[in-house]
């Protein structure tokens, strides 16, 4: 039986690529982790459609040119293209923190925008992030939060968070392996 494809949401900085302070603001600074393509390919093959959900207030602050975000998207897609798939859409909240934009994480607005745009069923969907605000966004969206330590968080830290993750992994690669092993066990 053909299984329907499921959505999977990914934070960008610290999950797909190295995070830097203050912002990943140019294509030169967009340093994709060496395991990212393998991890995303595993998820694609396991039946997941991938959506990036990322705060980029550097744009509103005048640090990150909006066209650089587009170049980073193109770089990511060019890395995935040889494997026959793409990120379905990159959602960015470019508003400043103090604007309290409904898209800005920890609010779930970008996940809901993806749901509405693509008619997604969020039931049981995974959200992979590296920060407490990602976990809170996932909780508010009703998705399953997974934390990776390749960004700003470290083991043990999430115990004090209001919205702790369901599970934690060193990187996206281990998270992808865990998801795929669970999914294959269900068939
Ligand atoms: Mg991040």
* Per-residue pLDDT at 38 exceeds 60: yes
How far apart are the CA of 180 and the centre of ligand 1, in A? 22
Q: Could you report the per-residue pLDDT of 57-75, keeping only the tens digit for each?
A: 999 999 999 999 999 999 9
Which pLDDT score, from 0 to 100, does residue 4 have?
85
Q: How many other β-carbons are positioned within 10 Å of the β-carbon of residue 33?
A: 18
How far apart are the CA of 54 and the centre of ligand 1, in A? 7
Q: Which residues are marked as active site?
A: 11, 13
As a whole number, mean pLDDT of residues 122-128 equals 97
Domain 6-185: top CATH class: alpha beta
Which pLDDT score, from 0 to 100, does residue 183 have?
78
* Whole-prediction pTM: 0.96
Q: How far apart are CA 140 and CA 129, in angstroms?
A: 14
How far apart are the CA of 3 and the centre of ligand 1, in A? 30
110 with 91: CB under 8 angstroms? yes
């Amino acid at each position: 039986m053909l299984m329907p494809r499921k959505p999977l949401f990914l934070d960008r900085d610290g999950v797909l690529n190295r995070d830097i302070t203050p912002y990943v603001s140019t294509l030169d600074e967009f340093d994709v982790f060496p395991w990212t393509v393998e991890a995303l390919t595993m998820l694609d093959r396991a039946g997941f459609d991938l959506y990036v959900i990322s705060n980029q207030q550097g744009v509103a602050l005048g640090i990150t040119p909006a066209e650089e975000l587009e170049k980073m998207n193109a770089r990511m897609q060019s890395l995935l293209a040889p494997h026959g798939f793409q990120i379905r859409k990159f959602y960015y909240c470019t508003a400043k923190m103090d604007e309290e934009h409904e898209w800005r994480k920890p609010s779930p607005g970008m996940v809901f925008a993806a749901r509405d745009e693509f008619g997604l069923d969020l039931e049981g969907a995974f959200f992979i992030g590296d920060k407490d605000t990602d976990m809170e966004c996932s909780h508010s969206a009703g998705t399953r939060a997974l934390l990776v330590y390749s960004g700003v968080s470290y083991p043990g830290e999430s115990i004090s968070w209001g919205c702790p993750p369901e599970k934690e992994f060193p990187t996206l690669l281990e998270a992808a392996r865990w998801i795929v092993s669970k999914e294959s066990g269900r068939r």
